[in-house]
Structure 1
């Protein structure tokens, strides 16, 4: 192989390695965000269920007086 071809392959490999590292970092950040959102969703679900349990009885559905 010629030196130019080897240099070109090394450049391509370096570019691919850099891209893989960047994608890996982004994937890690996304998983952290997903975990944060899951925890927040669980907290909000628990709060909603607590509020639903402590809320009074739901009013009966009736027609408004103008009907």
Structure 2
């Protein structure tokens, strides 16, 4: 009886260790993906700012629109 309980606990522990290892790997992969996405967002923000700056430079603020 006691031996059966110990065996059951060992099986449960083994299963839990396996699940924890799989979850740890998934978390690692998700963190890598999040880091890559954060880097891409920063690059896109810089490109957008550069384009906005370029658009602002090409339109003088005191120039009248062509239809006047």
Class of the TM-score when normalised by the shorter of the 2 chains:
0.7 to 0.9
Question: Unaligned regions of 5+ residues in structure 2, if any?
Answer: 61-68
Deviations 1:30-59 (A, max 9, x none): 10000000000000000000011011339x
CA distance, structure 2, for counterparts of residue 54 and residue 35 of structure 1: 29
Cα deviation, residue 2, structure 1: 1.5
| 3-state SS, counterpart of residue 59 of structure 2 | coil
Whichever structure has more helix as a proportion of its residues is 2
Question: Unaligned regions of 5+ residues in structure 1, if any?
Answer: 59-67
Where does residue 51 of structure 1 map in the other structure? 51
Where does residue 64 of structure 2 map in the other structure? none
Structure 1 runs, 4 residues or longer, greater than 3 Å off: none
Aligned length: 58
